[in-house]
Amino acid sequence: MEVAVLDINGKDTGRKADLSNSVFAIEPNNHAVYLDVKQYLANQRQGTHKSKERAEISGSTRKIKKQKGTGTARAGSIKSGIFKGGGRMFGPRPRNYTFKLNKNLKRLARKSALSIKAGEQSITVLEDFSFDTAKTKSFTAVLKALALDDKKTLFVLGGANNNVYLSSRNLKKSEVITTSELSTYKILNANQVVLLEGALAGIETNLSK
């Protein structure tokens, strides 16, 4: 699959980038995508939620009324969850939400996500660029030149570039990552995926293992 390479002014450089069919043109595996996105979101959860149960709140343990003859249900403690101020029944407890997925499945999910974006023509290949200083204005100019200033974008760099990263950090709709940080969720969460030329080899190498 060949895609035109653009410069930061949105102009065609006249060069073509060859995107591997084994990465960008496979039959998407929807279940693999679902599992990888589910794992990503689960890993974001802290799992520190906690509510006090009846054994953990302060209060008297005496029997609050006699067992029979009141016409109401029997009750043994004011700390019961049915009373105001009582413990919460079956409340949340701290837990770990993470779960394991095999590397091959995660690779398949990322290739499926890239293939989906390629099929939607939502992948742009951009020549490598850098900024002399970190300025949001410089990154915004690139977005406007590519007509992406009103879309959620994901820029994938071949390696760390601090000035480009810092220039994009204030923009809510744009994210800059390296090839090692690429995930199925981030690919699908963006309206347009912008791949720098230097990132293509790394992506294909990582996903072809």
* 6-23 per-position pLDDT tens digit: 999 989 898 999 999 999
Confidence of residue 118 (pLDDT cuts 50, 70, 90): very high
Q: State the pLDDT at residue 127.
A: 93
Same domain, 185 and 82: no
DSSP string of 119-155, one letter each residue: HTT-EEEE-----SS--HHHHHHHHHHTT-TTS-EEE
Confidence of residue 208 (pLDDT cuts 50, 70, 90): confident
Same domain, 88 and 126: no
Same domain, 90 and 122: no
Same domain, 91 and 189: no
pLDDT, tens only, 137-194: 999 999 999 999 899 999 999 888 999 999 999 999 999 999 999 999 999 999 999 9
* Cα–Cα distance measured from residue 140 to residue 8, given in angstroms and rounded to the nearest whole number: 11
Same domain, 80 and 173: no
Same domain, 84 and 133: no
Q: State the pLDDT at residue 61.
A: 86
* Cα–Cα distance measured from residue 188 to residue 176, given in angstroms and rounded to the nearest whole number: 15
Number of domains in the chain: 2
Q: State the pLDDT at residue 100.
A: 95
Q: State the pLDDT at residue 196.
A: 94
Q: Is the pLDDT of residue 209 over 90?
A: no
Same domain, 181 and 167: yes
Token pair listed for 175? 């994210």
Same domain, 188 and 137: yes
Same domain, 167 and 76: no
Q: Are strands 12-18 and 192-196 parallel, antiparallel or unpaired?
A: unpaired
| Segments forming the whole domain that contains residue 61 | 48-96
Last residue within a domain, chosen from 61, 79, 96: 96
Same domain, 108 and 92: no
Q: Which amino acid is at 68?
A: K
CATH number at residue 187: 3.40.1370.10
pTM to 2 decimal places:
0.84
Alpha helices in 3-64 (DSSP H): 21-24, 30-43
Locate the DSSP E strands across 7-148.
Answer: 12-18, 123-126
Query: What is the signed CA dihedral for 154, 156, 162, 164, rounded to 10 degrees?
Result: -60
Same domain, 91 and 117: no
Same domain, 54 and 37: no
Closest CA to 127 of 198, 202, 205: 198
